[in-house]
Chains A and B, each alone.
Chain A
Amino acid sequence: MWKKKENELPTPEPDHRPEPPAPRPAPRRAERAIIGPTLKISGEISGEEELIVQGQVDGKITVKGQGVTVGKSGKVKADIHARNIRVEGQVRGDLFGEQEVIIETSGDVQGNLIAPSVRLENGSRFKGSIDMERAKQPTPPPAAPKPGTTNPMPASPARPGENQKIQSPPPDPGQRNLGS
């Protein structure tokens, strides 16, 4: 009774294995653009991919959400706006970093740096200003003090010479030694 008929084709058993997952699109590789050492560009460069400058750029560079590296042979006369900016070559212009600006040992920058974090490596050359406050995220206002409590510190301390004078420490006569 259990013998199969000879001509009868076996019925395929239902396959309970899970369907293979549909092929997902390959993860997008970080795009990267390189301006080679023999290239000279005058004008505005803007985009949303990482940029490496090994050549010369005069104008303006704006890269949203990505980094810009000025390589050792790079010479940039431009303001640069990017998430992170790394300088190994020469820049004459202002650097606006959303996160960080790094001037490497071989870097030479004349301009202004505006970023929450700035790093100058030993041996790097820089002349200009570093503005760390303008780039910082605005901090939420402090929570209102609970009734009955006092806030020991003013919400925004006054700078000397503005609203409040800071007492200079009294000179210690024992420590003063002038004109010896």
Chain B
Amino acid sequence: MVVPRAQTDSLSGGQSHQDGLSHHSLALKHALRRFRALGGYRVLDLGPAIGRNVQFLSSFISKLFIADLYGTICKQAGRGGMDRVKLDQILSRDLPPTSQNPIDLILVWDLLNYLDREQVTTLGRHLAGLCRRDSLVLALLSTLPTIPELPGRYLMLDPETLRYENSSKRERRSPGYKEPDLEKLMPAFEVETSYLLRSGIQEYVLTTRSLV
């Protein structure tokens, strides 16, 4: 097991959801290494808009889509409960149209921790329609029994450092998705690499599955 260098060595399982922590993200480094050299890429961020990330990404991307998906899901869930959320409709409306050029990198962050299995499948289907061969997906899954009540915000401090911000005071049960779950629920993707952090977060870099 590799535990990447973290700025918070004292972190243990129960302390992983502290606000304002920075960690060395090998997954981010892995994903960006492919893109930074040439530039001109298209990135889809499923998280909320973060000025710092826009600033950081602007040096080597040509287009950034910000979906703020969880914000939209929460708005809709507020009216009828999370189970009644019509994710399919939200995704059809809020993701970039598939008729445009494909997306090179999708930043899912920790959103999958907040979706049930059916929703993960729906999301995976929509994302697959946006990708080309070799597109990458960055996802952070919790290996801990509980997670913060709401997804966090991840700030890119540099090409290999993420800062985690979370305003949740309460916690909820983690679905505990693992690699086999991901590949089963999102069959268009396969795990290219993953890294387990000391904090209990497992970083995944997925890529579109090769059609042989």
Contacts and interface: CB of A to CB of B under 8 A. Distances in A.
Contact of B34 (A127, A129, A169): A169
A119 B2 contact: no
B68 A178 contact: no
A150 interface: no
B51 A127 contact: no
A137 to B, nearest CB: 15
Interface stretch (B6-14, B118-126, B187-195): B187-195
A134 B178 CA distance: 40
A180 B1 contact: yes
B40 interface: yes
A58 interface: no
A106 interface: no
A29 interface: no
Interface in A116-160: 118-122, 124-134, 157-160
Interface of A: 103, 118-122, 124-134, 157-161, 165-166, 168-169, 171-172, 174-180
Contact of B193 (A121, A157, A176): A176
Interface stretch (B58-66, B109-117, B156-164): B58-66
A122 B51 contact: yes
Contacts, number: 106
A84 B134 CA distance: 37
Given A125-B49, A180-B202, A132 B191 contact: no
Dominant secondary structure of chain B at its interface with chain A: mixed
B143 interface: yes
Contacts of B133: 161
Contacts of B65: 128-130
Interface in B94-130: 94, 96, 102, 104
B66 to A, nearest CB: 6
Nearest to A167: B34
A116 to B, nearest CB: 10
Contact of B62 (A118, A124, A126, A131): A131
A127 to B, nearest CB: 5
Contact of A130 (B66, B71, B194): B66
Contacts of A119: 51, 54-55
Contacts of B102: 161
A172 to B, nearest CB: 8
